Amino acid sequence: MITKLERRIKIKYRVRNKISGTTERPRMSVFRSNKQIYVQIINDTTGTTLVAASSLGMETMPKKEQAAKVGKLIAKKALEAGITTVVFDRNGYLYHGRVKEVADAARNGGLKF
CB atoms closer than 10 angstroms to residue 100: 18
Torsion angle in degrees (nearest 10) through CA of 92, 97, 102, 106:
110
Cα–Cα distance measured from residue 44 to residue 34, given in angstroms and rounded to the nearest whole number: 27
User: pLDDT-derived band of residue 23, with 50, 70 and 90 as boundaries?
Assistant: confident
The yes-or-no verdict on residue 76 having pLDDT over 90 is yes
Flag whether the pTM goes above 0.75: yes
The yes-or-no verdict on residue 42 having pLDDT over 90 is yes
CATH number of 4-109: 3.30.420.100
Domain extent listing, the chain: 4-109
Q: What is the pLDDT of residue 19?
A: 87
- Please report, rounded to a whole number, the percentage of residues in the chain having pLDDT higher than 70: 100
CA distances from 79 to 16, 19, 27, 62, 72 (A): 24, 22, 14, 26, 11
Q: What is the pLDDT of residue 81?
A: 95
pLDDT (average), residues 72-88: 96
